[in-house]
Chains A and B, each alone.
Chain A
């Protein structure tokens, strides 16, 4: 089956720790995105990547980092510098250049204890 997978589904972190959220897609999409969703709010863009080894900051990149070493993978690290990391994190991908349609993964819920 083609699609986007995110792991883990739930993640708990102690304050001061870095954590990495996984996102993998087998849709052969060039572009990948990370969004943050807080209760009662829309999705806010953290980082995006159009090609391997290149990525750009979105609207709320502070306290986050990413890498894009492979086309299929776009992991997100939530660092200890992120002051309020508890949220639902969504990864998405799209075909670059032919459509803006973004397809989302199932999400990872991060809770800071």
Chain B
């Protein structure tokens, strides 16, 4: 089955700096890669996702890049703010028109210091 590895497990940055979180996946059939942000005691919230037919997607300060050949994808947060502090999870799915199982990475605790 699919295996998703996420690094680093913790990341500490100063406000205004950029943060990068990387994930690798094992199943070359995976074609959908969402990123979730989870605040303490709450459910994960989708922040951005990318499908395998594109290499990069941006939404304001957040971007995701995908390298299908190397089977890795990354989350980039620019101009970080204290409210970006949370746990971030990547996931991968084979998707399609039937059930697409999401396999999650282990999570990255991001701390943005004012």
Contact = CB atoms under 8 A, between A and B. Distances in A.
Contact of A100 (B36, B89, B102): B102
Given A100-B95, A101-B34, A41 B107 contact: yes
Interface string A48-81: 1010000010100000000000000000000000
B46 A101 contact: yes
A102 interface: yes
Interface residues of B, number: 26
Contacts of B44: 43, 90, 104
Contact of B106 (A31, A41, A58, A102): A41
Most buried by B among A48, A50, A56, A102: A102
Given A101-B46, A101-B49, A50 B104 contact: no
Interface residues of A, number: 25
Contacts, number: 58
B104 A43 contact: yes
Nearest to B34: A101
Nearest to A35: B104
B14 interface: no
Contacts of B95: 100
Contacts of B105: 42
A2 interface: no
Contacts of A19: none
B114 interface: no
B101 interface: yes
B100 A100 contact: yes
A22 to B, nearest CB: 14
A45 interface: yes
A40 B104 CA distance: 12
Contact of B46 (A31, A96, A103): A103
Interface of B: 4, 6, 9, 32, 34, 36, 41-46, 49, 89, 93, 95, 97-102, 104-107
Given A42-B104, A43-B44, 9 more contacts: A31-B99, A40-B106, A41-B107, A44-B104, A48-B101, A100-B95, A101-B49, A105-B43, A109-B41
